[in-house]
């Protein structure tokens, strides 16, 4: 009898491990946002990631969404184990990973690659990817955010005062930026801002070049409008998962792979930018660039200290990257970030 009890006890001890192994073998679902659906480059990134995830012991079934809010809401409700969406949309889950998109934080793709690689592969930054019941397991570039205007005379921050600018309700940064520019914020979301801009209800948009074709923005830009070439910020495509739905080492392996996939995403981004007519781009003056730099610094500090939207540790990394690339920047002699 004692032997029988011992065997039962041993089996009971094994059950949690067996259950965990079975759970890890089960297919997960991921809600994937792409305005172009299955044919878009964001969904293609997700497909490549899903192939790798299966090899890490976590098969993933992808569910395409052309509405980002619905994708994230379904994830929150538990309909999906993971969601792939923009960092700005996912900021309420993890402010640290969203900080990569800080206003003026990363002025070029050449700086963005080492930043994303450092964050996703260095152990010192690993804790920032876990937030409550969620974990961010990958960050791809989605493209620089540019200021798009229906009137080419609006080619500086100062010129935007009084202009109607699309404001995303879920993004504190865009709302605050519009206030500080003196613009008039018009409540919008990704489903409405394209048509509103094209119909003349908006004067200004903050969007990456990857939105140009799916949102048919050439209609709103017309012959008089343009896109200011200097990036306002960087948008990212992030993978967020529910805690406990994936193997213990999944996040580390996923982030390292996504960091190494930077060039794949960048190729599509640059193709989208190259597809915009050369005459549409506006090269700002040196004064306009300096104005944007100063504006970005003020925004980052306010969103870190007052709004608590930006993570100070990530901002410090972004500043280090900027100053390593150009030590003559005025901010490099300061200790503000």
For residues 203 and 123, is the Cβ–Cβ distance under 8 A?
no
- 91 Ramachandran zone, left/alpha/beta (phi>0; psi -120 to 50): alpha
For residue 172, what pLDDT band results from cuts at 50, 70 and 90?
A: confident
The two three-digit tokens of residue 272, written as one number = 């989208």
For residues 106 and 115, is the Cβ–Cβ distance under 8 A?
yes
- Angle of helix 262-274 relative to helix 109-121, nearest 10 degrees, comes to 160
CA angle, residues 311, 303, 168, in degrees to nearest 5: 105
pLDDT of residue 20: 44
The two three-digit tokens of residue 205, written as one number = 């948009």
Return the HEC string of 210-235. HHCCCCCCHHHHCCCCEEECCCCEEE
Radius of gyration, CA atoms only, the chain = 22
pLDDT of residue 2: 46
The two three-digit tokens of residue 2, written as one number = 């004692």
Per-residue pLDDT of 128-161, as tens digits, reads 999 999 999 999 999 999 999 999 999 999 999 9
pLDDT higher than 60, residue 18 = no
Per-residue pLDDT of 298-313, as tens digits, reads 999 999 999 999 999 9
Task: Establish how many alpha carbons lie within 13 A of residue 149's alpha carbon, considering only the half-sphere containing its beta carbon.
Answer: 20
Q: Alpha-carbon distance 80 to 31, whole Å?
A: 6
The two three-digit tokens of residue 10, written as one number = 């041993």
Q: What is the distance of C-alpha 88 from the center of its chain?
A: 6
Task: Report the largest interatomic distance among the alpha carbons of the chain, rounded to a whole angstrom.
Answer: 90
Residue 31: Cβ-neighbour burial (10 angstroms; 0-12, 13-18, 19+) = buried
pLDDT higher than 50, residue 16 = no
Of the candidate ranges 33-37, 51-55, 315-319, the one whose mean pLDDT is the lowest: 33-37
Q: Alpha-carbon distance 256 to 119, whole Å?
A: 10
DSSP one-letter string for 249-274: THHHHHHHHHHHTHHHHHHHHHHHHH
Per-residue pLDDT of 97-138, as tens digits, reads 999 999 999 999 999 999 999 999 999 999 999 999 999 999
pLDDT of residue 10: 44
Residues 6+ apart with CB under 8 A from 122: none
For residues 53 and 103, is the Cβ–Cβ distance under 8 A?
no
Q: Alpha-carbon distance 308 to 287, whole Å?
A: 30
Task: Establish how many alpha carbons lie within 13 A of residue 235's alpha carbon, considering only the half-sphere containing its beta carbon.
Answer: 21
Bridge partners (DSSP) of residue 143 are: 235
Q: What percent of the chain has pLDDT over 90?
A: 88
Residues 6+ apart with CB under 8 A from 136: 90, 93, 94, 97, 129, 130, 238, 239, 240, 251, 255
pLDDT of residue 169: 87
pLDDT of residue 25: 53
Closest CA to 185 of 205, 155, 158, 215: 205
Bridge partners (DSSP) of residue 225 are: none
Q: Determine the average pLDDT of the residues in 50-63.
A: 97
Q: Which helix (H) or strand (E) holds 292?
A: helix 286-305
Domains and CATH numbers, the chain: 22-142+235-274 (3.40.190.170), 145-233+280-310 (3.40.190.10)
pLDDT of residue 4: 45
Q: Alpha-carbon distance 193 to 160, whole Å?
A: 17
């Amino acid at each position: 009898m004692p032997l029988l009890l011992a065997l039962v006890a041993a089996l009971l001890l094994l059950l949690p491990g067996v259950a965990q192994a079975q759970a890890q073998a089960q297919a997960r679902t991921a809600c994937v946002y792409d305005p172009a659906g299955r044919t878009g480059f964001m969904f293609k990134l997700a497909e490549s990631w899903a192939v790798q995830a299966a090899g890490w012991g976590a098969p993933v079934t992808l569910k395409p969404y052309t509405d980002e809010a619905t994708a994230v809401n379904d994830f929150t409700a538990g309909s999906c184990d993971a969601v792939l969406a923009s960092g700005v949309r996912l900021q309420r889950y993890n402010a640290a990973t969203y900080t990569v998109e800080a206003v003026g934080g990363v002025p070029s793709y050449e700086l963005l690659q080492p930043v994303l690689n450092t964050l996703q592969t260095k152990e010192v930054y690993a804790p920032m990817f876990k937030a409550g019941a969620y974990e961010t397991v990958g960050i791809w570039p989605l493209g620089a955010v540019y200021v798009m205007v229906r009137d080419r005379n609006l080619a500086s921050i100062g010129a935007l005062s009084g202009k109607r600018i699309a404001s995303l309700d879920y993004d504190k940064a865009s709302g605050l930026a519009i206030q500080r520019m003196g613009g008039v914020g018009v409540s919008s979301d990704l489903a409405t801002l394209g048509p509103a801009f094209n119909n003349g209800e908006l004067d200004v948009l903050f969007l990456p070049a990857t939105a140009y074709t799916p949102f048919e923005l050439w209609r709103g830009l017309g012959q008089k409008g343009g896109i200011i070439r200097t990036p306002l910020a960087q948008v990212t495509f992030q993978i967020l998962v529910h805690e406990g739905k994936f193997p213990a080492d999944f996040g580390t392996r996923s982030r390292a792979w996504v960091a190494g996939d930077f060039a794949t995403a960048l190729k599509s981004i640059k193709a989208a930018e190259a597809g915009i007519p050369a005459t549409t781009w506006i090269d700002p003056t040196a004064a306009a660039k300096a104005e944007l730099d100063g504006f970005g610094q003020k925004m980052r500090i306010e969103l870190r200290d007052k709004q608590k939207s930006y993570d100070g540790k990530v901002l410090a990394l972004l500043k280090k990257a900027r100053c390593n690339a150009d030590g003559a920047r005025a901010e490099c002699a300061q200790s503000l970030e």
